[in-house]
Amino acid sequence: MLGLLRQKMADRQLLLSDANQRKGMASGKPRLGYIGALGDGNLGDEAMFAAAKHLYPNHELVTLLSTWRETELATKGLSGPTFFAGVILGGGTLISPYWLPAIVHAQQQGCRTWTLGSGIGSSGFGDDAAVGLDGWSECLKQMSGVGIRGPRSLDSARQLGIGNAEQIGDLAAVLTPDAPQVPHERRKIVVNIAASPSDTRSPTEIPALAAVVNYLRLADQFGDEIVGVAMHRTDGGPTRRVLDAAGLEHISVQLPTDFAAFAKWVEGAHCTLSVRLHAAILAANLGIPSISLGYRDKNLDFMHSIGQERWHIPLETASLDETTDAIKAMEADAHGLRASIHAQMLSYRDQVTRYATRMVAVSP
CA distance to 88, 123, 150, 187, per residue, from 133 (Å): 19, 12, 17, 43
Is residue 363 very low, low, confident or very high in pLDDT (cuts 50, 70, 90)? low
CATH 3.40.50.2000 spans which residues of the chain? 188-346
The three state secondary structure string of the chain is: CHHHHHHHHHHHHHHHHHHHHHHCCCCCCCEEEEECCCCCCEHHHHHHHHHHHHHCCCCEEEECCCHHHHHHHHCCCCCCCCCCCEEEECCEEEECHHHHHHHHHHHHHCCCEEEEEEEECCCCCCCCCCCCCCCHHHHHHCCCEEEECCHHHHHHHHHCCCCCEEECCCHHHHHCCCCCCCCCCCCEEEEECCCCCCCCCCHHHCHHHHHHHHHHHHHHHCCCEEEEECCECCCHHHHHHHHHHCCCCCCCEECCCCHHHHHHHHCCCCEEEECCHHHHHHHHHCCCCEEEEECCHHHHHHHHHCCCHHHEEECCCCCHHHHHHHHHHHHHHHHHHHHHHHHHHHHHHHHHHHHHHHHHHCCC
108 Cβ neighbours under 8 A, 6+ residues apart: none
- Looking at every residue in the chain, the average pLDDT score rounds to 95
CATH 3.40.50.2000 matches 188-346: yes
- Cα–Cα nearest to 300, from 50, 157, 122: 122
Mean pLDDT of 209-229: 98
Position 151 pLDDT exceeds 90: yes
Interacting residues of 94 by C-beta distance below 8 A, sequence separation 6+:
35, 36, 37, 115, 118, 119, 123
pLDDT digit string, tens, across residues 41-73: 999 999 999 999 999 999 999 999 999 999 999
What pLDDT does 15 receive?
85
User: Residue 241: which residues within 8 A CB-CB, separation 6 or more?
Assistant: 193, 202, 203
What angle (nearest 5°) sits at the alpha carbon of residue 358, between those of residues 353 and 359?
100
**Mean pLDDT calculated for residue range 280-287:** 98
Distance of CA 317 to the CA centre of its chain: 23
How confident is the model over 83-98, as pLDDT tens digits? 999 999 999 999 999 9
pLDDT band at residue 123 under the 50/70/90 scheme: confident
pLDDT per residue as tens digits for the range 309-343:
999 999 999 999 999 999 999 999 999 999 999 99
| pLDDT of the residue at 2 | 55
Percent of the chain with pLDDT over 70: 96
Q: Tell me, what's the pLDDT at 128?
A: 84
* pTM of full prediction above 0.85: yes
pLDDT score of 236 more than 80: yes
Mean pLDDT, residues 249-271? 98
Nearest of 143, 144, 162 to residue 153 by alpha carbon: 162
| pLDDT value at residue 91 | 93
pLDDT of residue 264: 98
- The reported pLDDT for the residue numbered 129 is 83
The CATH number assigned to the domain with range 2-175+348-361 reads 3.40.50
Q: Which of 318, 334, 231 is nearest to 274 (CA)?
A: 231
Asked which of 18-22, 101-105, 234-238, 323-327 is least confident by mean pLDDT, the reply is 18-22
- pLDDT given for residue 233 in this prediction: 93
